[in-house]
Amino acid sequence: MAESTTFDRICDIIRENGGAGDVELTLDTKLADAGLDSLSTVEAVIACEDEFGIEIETEQNPATVGEFVELVESLMEK
């Protein structure tokens, strides 16, 4: 359940930052395919920091929605 909640919240953030459009988001969806370029991904990462109360190193730009979820969850466990 925890995973799906994080997933849903991250999908919302991706949509709020101009991603997704008509694409259905799954754990395997590449952020680039969801319409997020490198700058928009940084924007979504910053929004996640606020949403989850964590700090994410910008070098760790995730490539897929699944990687994004893993990254956020690993930081939340710390």
Partner 1 sequence: MERRVVITGMGAVTPVGLTAQETWESLVAGRPGIGLITRFDTADFKVKVAAEVKGFDGKDYEGIDVRHQDLSCQYALVASDEAWKDSGLEDDAELDRDRVGVYVGTGIGGLGSYTVNVDTMRQRGPRRVSPFMIPMMIANMPAGEISIRHHLTGPTLPVVTACATSAHAVGEAFRAIKHGYADVILAGGTEAAILPEAVAGFTNCKALTLNPDPATACRPFDANRDGFVMGEGACVLVLEEYEHAVARGAHIVCEVAGYGNTADAYHITSPDPDARGITRAIADAVSESGMKPEEGLYINAHGTSTKLNDSTETAGFKLALGEEAARSAHISSTKSMTGHMLGATGAVEVMASALALEHGIVPPTIGYAEPDPACDLDYTPGEAIEAELAWALTTNLGFGGHNAALALKAYKGE
Are 30 and 64 in contact by the 8 Å Cβ rule? The answer is yes
Six-digit token string for 58:
């910008």
Coil, strand or helix at 64: strand
12 lies in the binding site for partner 1 (CB under 8 A): no
Interaction mask 21-40, partner 1, x per CB under 8 A: ------------------xx
Q: Residue count at the site for partner 1 (CB under 8 A)?
A: 8
43 lies in the binding site for partner 1 (CB under 8 A): yes
Minimal distance in Å, beta carbon 76 to partner 1?
A: 18
* Closest listed residue to residue 47, CA positions, set 6, 8, 16, 78: 16
